[in-house]
Amino acid sequence: MKVLQESALSQTLTFIPRSHVALVNYTLTNESTNTSVSATDIVATTSGGYLVIDEIFTLLEGVFYNIEVTSGTTVIYRGRIFCTNQDIDTFTMNTDYVSKGKDNTYAII
């Protein structure tokens, strides 16, 4: 899963593709509303075996998206994006818990 922000600035999406190409198309599908946004002929660069897209993505905070990157009709990457404006290094989606011992019971805080 990739994490991006709700921003009007260009963001970088880096992934391992099934094949390396110079131009890609992508479709972002909002998992909550099942609406899609597509972009075509996006320049992609290769860096250390990864494909890199620098793009302004239209995202809403707190929403999961499915992304499908294609070259022509061939799918070269499928993935999931979560949009958050929180600091990625300290962000957590889990509730804090404290271990109560070795019997797999936990106290939820």
- DSSP structure class, residue 90: T
Report pLDDT for 86. Answer: 84
Q: What is the pairing mode between strands 74-83 and 2-4?
A: parallel
pLDDT band at residue 101, thresholds of 50, 70 and 90? low
pLDDT value for 105: 64
**pTM recorded for the entire structure:** 0.76
- Whether residue 100 is predicted with pLDDT greater than 90 in this model: the reply is no
Please check whether the domain covering 2-108 is classified as CATH 2.60.40: yes
Mean pLDDT of the chain: 87
CA atoms 42, 6, 61, 94: torsion sign: positive
- Asked if residue 83 has pLDDT above 80, the reply is yes
Asked whether the predicted pLDDT for residue 98 surpasses 80, the reply is no
Q: What is the pLDDT of residues 2-51, one digit of tens each?
A: 999 998 999 999 999 999 999 999 999 999 999 999 999 999 999 999 99
- Cα dihedral value 44, 83, 56, 87, nearest 10: -90
